[in-house]
Amino acid sequence: MATACEQLKKVQGHPCFSGGQHKTGRMHLAVAPACNIKCGYCTRKHDCANESRPGVASRLLTPTEALDKVREVMASPLLGPTMRVVGIAGPGDPLANQQTFETFRLVGEEFPDLMKCMSTNGLLLPESLDRLMALGLHSLTVTINAVEAATAARIYRHIYYHGTRYSGEAAGEILLASQYEGVQRACELGMVVKVNTVLMPGINDAEIPQIAERIKGMGAFVMNVMPLIPQADLAHIEPPSQEYLAQVRDDNERIIGQMRHCKQCRADAVGLL
């Protein structure tokens, strides 16, 4: 596992993880349409709500179209010199789509200096890490919303895992086990790991400090607590106020560094944050 100092060095130039968001650019490649779980706050009409700007639907690319887009951006006199990161964050879950691996392979062969970054719900993370490591994945975001399966059962309607559909606590147990094992192993492999948590008042707020403790112990670099946008199954939940969100972040800061500049970029965003 990398030390805090090594992690800080490693994130230099990554606009989401370090302070350089006004100088260095990133491009998101929207190559991953499918998703293998159903979060209660997701309508699937838009990009993955765990990482993306609410209500935005990106234009889907094939891996070769994505490579063409990277070539175009890198050749641009305005954008090319700022580009440091290429990321895949949807519009579904990157690990539920083989196109994610193919895109990283194609882009990595031609642009080995771009950092590769990915966001996932974590369900397939443990079994995907060796492939991601071989492709040179630099940084990883995993969305984790609970520690207890009973809480997860209130958040996720179902998951599809190795050909079987699970719901309720059975789904929660599989998903949480995969997420925490994935974070642990990714940290051991030296990846820089961020954990996104959607703050859902009355559902998971009591577990947020426990999530923070657990991921900190595993070596995660930073936590990004995001406010719930009430829609779909969770449309009836009151979203957190700005004050409550700030308080939760302040409380968690004592456990693990909190991210406060996240812009919830769309899955096809290009440029500076």
Residue with tokens 């209500």: 55
Binding-site member from 7, 24, 50, 197 for ligand SF4 (CB under 6 A): 50
Instruction: Look up residue 45 and give its DSSP letter.
Output: S
Q: How far apart are CA 94 and CA 100, in angstroms?
A: 6
| Interface with ligand SF4, residue 198, by CB under 6 A | no
| Interface with ligand SF4, residue 48, by CB under 6 A | yes
Q: How far apart are CA 180 and CA 183, in angstroms?
A: 5
Q: Is 74 left (phi over 0), alpha (psi -120 to 50) or beta?
A: alpha
Q: 223-240 b/e with 16+ CB inside 10 Å = b?
A: bbbbbbbebbbbeebebb
- Residues in 67-126 at the binding interface with ligand SF4, rule: CB under 6 A: 92-93, 121
| Interface with ligand SF4, residue 49, by CB under 6 A | yes
Which stretch, 15-23, 30-38, 166-174, 241-249, contacts ligand SF4 (CB under 6 A)? 30-38
Q: Specify the residue, 49 or 115, whose C-beta has the smaller distance to ligand SF4.
A: 49
| Interface with ligand SF4, residue 58, by CB under 6 A | no
- Grouping H, G, I as helix, E, B as strand and the rest as coil, residue 140 is strand
Q: Specify the residue, 39 or 115, whose C-beta has the smaller distance to ligand SF4.
A: 39
Which residues share a beta bridge with 198?
226
| Interface with ligand SF4, residue 10, by CB under 6 A | no
Q: Least distance in Å: CB of 90 to ligand SF4?
A: 6
Which stretch, 24-32, 37-45, 186-194, 246-254, contacts ligand SF4 (CB under 6 A)? 37-45
Which stretch, 5-13, 44-52, 77-85, 221-229, contacts ligand SF4 (CB under 6 A)? 44-52
CB 194 within 8 A of CB 16: yes
Instruction: Provide CB contacts within 8 A for 219, sequence distance 6+.
Output: 1, 2, 184, 187, 188, 193
Which stretch, 45-53, 64-72, 105-113, 199-207, contacts ligand SF4 (CB under 6 A)? 45-53
Q: Least distance in Å: CB of 121 to ligand SF4?
A: 4
